[in-house]
Structure 1
Amino acid sequence: MLYDNNDGLPMDQVRLMETRVLVKLKESWVALPYIWNEAQTEAFLDVAGDSTNLTLVKNDSEEQFTYIVPDANECAGCHADGKSRKLVKPIGPRIRHLNRDLVYADGKQNQLDYWTAHGLLTGVDSTTATQNALWPNGRAGETLEHRARSYLDINCAHCHNPKGAAKNSGLWLTWDTTTPVRLGFCKPPVAAGKGTGDRKVAIQPGDPDGSILLYRMQSNDPGEMMPELGRSTSHAEGVALVSEWIASLEGDC
């Protein structure tokens, strides 16, 4: 999903941990992880990755967790194209992720229109292009389904698509997936192992607690959680959104 602001990070409340860089070589891309120093003044290349014990403070509660910076080879887990783990390439962004208003020096304007007006983009009409929902509450009139599908699209669909690293799962979470079983409705797992949490299908309409998708979003077990990389805690707000959407679905497997 897209954040409904462009004010940058509140540095008095943020600690920078890593910056991941994709570099285009002559015939390929290479993934490079940089780790920020304690002083927050510079990031240094470390292809082996890193791990740091941290405390997440939120809503007067604390959660201990280990922040893991993936090593350079692990980047292929998401950035490979599904044909070979060596063929690393950028994941996005997509037009639907960029189709939003931003505040520029000369006022608010749609990002795609701004780029077009400044010669950075051609052939795109923002009024007809698809548009993901804004996080966290969406725009006026956006449905619960659109908000939940947008969340899954930007957080999961880079792997869960017909050409992605998770294509063999048969679970495709792109915004334009329309076949119910491909989206996970009543879909048995292909090879989830213990990641099923003893649930039978990816999405059990009307039953979030009976859905593998939600179980893997909630889990912090490295052998169960989704995404497999890039997170160390469960995103409670995202879980709540997808749970609400699944609960609203009608039907019975």
Structure 2
Amino acid sequence: MKKLYLFPIFCFLFIFSCKSDEKIESIETVNPVVNFNIDAVPYAKLSTYAFFKGDLKDLNPSTKVIPYEPASSLFTDYALKKRFIWMPDGVKANYDGDDKSLNFPLGTVLIKNFYYNTIQPGNTTKILETRLMIKKSSGWVFAEYLWNDAQTEAELVTGTNFTTGSSVNITFKKENNDVVTTDYRIPSESECFACHKLDNKPVPIGVKPQNLNVSYNYPNGLKNQLQKLVDEGYLQSFPSNIVSTVNYKDTSKPLDIRLRSYLDINCAHCHQENARCDYRAIRLSFSQTTNLSKIGVCVMADEPIDPSLERIIMPGNPSKSVMHFRLSSVNESNRMPLLGRTIVHDEGLDLLKQWINTLNQNCP
């Protein structure tokens, strides 16, 4: 008679072989299966999904929860980010263009955790928020989770009682050892929609092939992120000739490519057709900014700010360039981006300044 082997609910018989005595030779346990009911999400607690195994704060992904990182990252008051993709069994995303987000199937969840590892005093690590985008039959929906001080759980705050968002006062140390205190912004659903809006529908921003066509250091080694999605069964295929963005911090890359990559991830989602700032004079998608007028070089400002700021980009003169002024401002009426930051991104501003100083054409 065969013996019956019972395992805990979170364990699976992964590999086995039978010999004459029918002894099970090899058993491997795997991570908990993600808990996802598309009719019930978003759940009240982040832990309910089982996206992460072990202590929740470790953000150690469960099976088929795949980490990713765009070539350049959106600036959010120097917050660090850990991003993941999860999809249900039997479905795949499709390539739809270098500069268009992957066409994800129903049930896809994009997971983005915001944290600091230099919270003062003591350089401690603290996760502030986790943002989910979930693709339901009605389209993408937002789910904002706010972490408790004990770092044991994150609670859903998206809804009718969180229409104005909130702020968390933090003090952290930058890489240059400057200590910064700010009211970090936890966005409301309407604020999320403002940046993620295209054709009046919510869409993802960073998961474009042009941003993912770079290597990531997975536990098993470096691999192209798009190829990883293919290997995991999450993506049908992708072309070999994708025109890709770069890490704007990588000084080995051309200055103009770095600047265009920075503007794409930080600004292009609003400055494009049928998006929040489509009435503006500039278009900042990476695929368009080979044309310098799209960035605003010699383009007249489309609203009055200061008489000395006539051009969006004044070649060779950052102090007379509207874009430089907006990136250096923390005033809510003047700063760009409008949302997502409360302090100046010094490195991004310096990148823009360097690039403007290389331009030598005369404006008409």
Q: TM-score, normalised by structure 2?
A: 0.61
Q: Deviations over 1:157-207 (max 9, x none)?
A: 11112232211102111112133322211112223x54x685111111111
**What CA distance in whole angstroms lies between the structure 2 residues aligned with 1:56 and 1:106?**
32
Residue aligning to 2:130: 19
**Do the aligned partners of residues 56 and 46 (structure 1) sit closer, same or farther apart at CA in structure 2, a change above 3 Å counting?**
same
Amino acid at match of 2:204: P
2:245 to 119, 129, 132: 132
**Do the aligned partners of residues 14 and 201 (structure 1) sit closer, same or farther apart at CA in structure 2, a change above 3 Å counting?**
farther
Moved more, 209-218 or 179-188: 179-188
Amino acid at match of 2:71: L
Matched, 1:90 2:204: yes
**Do the aligned partners of residues 98 and 60 (structure 1) sit closer, same or farther apart at CA in structure 2, a change above 3 Å counting?**
closer
C-alpha RMSD over aligned residues: 2.5
User: Where does structure 2 lack aligned partners over 5 or more consecutive residues?
Assistant: 1-69, 74-80, 83-114, 118-122
Q: State the shift of 1:10 in Å.
A: 7.6
Matched, 1:72 2:189: yes
Residue aligning to 2:262: 151
Work out the percentage of aligned pairs sharing the same amino acid: 32
Q: State the shift of 1:13 in Å.
A: 4.5
Matched, 1:101 2:221: no
Matched, 1:226 2:297: no
Structure (1 or 2) with the larger CA radius of gyration = 2
Amino acid at match of 2:217: V
1:2 to 71, 83, 99: 71
Would the aligned equivalents of 2:169 and 2:183 in 1 still touch at CA under 8 Å? yes
1:201 to 298, 311, 321: 311
Would the aligned equivalents of 1:80 and 1:164 in 2 still touch at CA under 8 Å? yes
Task: Report which of the two has the higher share of helix.
Answer: 1
**What CA distance in whole angstroms lies between the structure 1 residues aligned with 2:273 and 2:237?**
26
Matched, 1:39 2:159: no
Q: State the shift of 1:250 in Å.
A: 1.8
Residue aligning to 1:190: 302
- Give the paired residue count: 243
Q: State the shift of 1:3 in Å.
A: 5.8
Residue aligning to 2:228: 114
**What CA distance in whole angstroms lies between the structure 2 residues aligned with 1:60 and 1:172?**
35
**Do the aligned partners of residues 14 and 219 (structure 1) sit closer, same or farther apart at CA in structure 2, a change above 3 Å counting?**
farther
Q: State the shift of 1:135 in Å.
A: 4.2
**Do the aligned partners of residues 172 and 147 (structure 1) sit closer, same or farther apart at CA in structure 2, a change above 3 Å counting?**
same
Q: Deviations over 1:50-75 (max 9, x none)?
A: 11222232334333322111211222
Moved more, 142-151 or 106-115: 106-115
**What CA distance in whole angstroms lies between the structure 1 residues aligned with 2:317 and 2:124?**
37
**Do the aligned partners of residues 61 and 197 (structure 1) sit closer, same or farther apart at CA in structure 2, a change above 3 Å counting?**
farther
Q: State the shift of 1:21 in Å.
A: 2.0
**What CA distance in whole angstroms lies between the structure 1 residues aligned with 2:250 and 2:124?**
22
- Deviating beyond 6 angstroms after TM superposition, the runs of 4 or more aligned structure 1 residues are none
Q: Deviations over 1:105-158 (max 9, x none)?
A: 4332222223334433233134x21121124125x4x21111111111111111
Moved more, 56-65 or 223-232: 56-65
Would the aligned equivalents of 1:197 and 1:215 in 2 still touch at CA under 8 Å? no
**What CA distance in whole angstroms lies between the structure 2 residues aligned with 1:152 and 1:184?**
12
Would the aligned equivalents of 1:99 and 1:111 in 2 still touch at CA under 8 Å? yes
Q: State the shift of 1:30 in Å.
A: 2.5
For the residue of structure 1 that corresponds to 2:192, the secondary structure is: helix
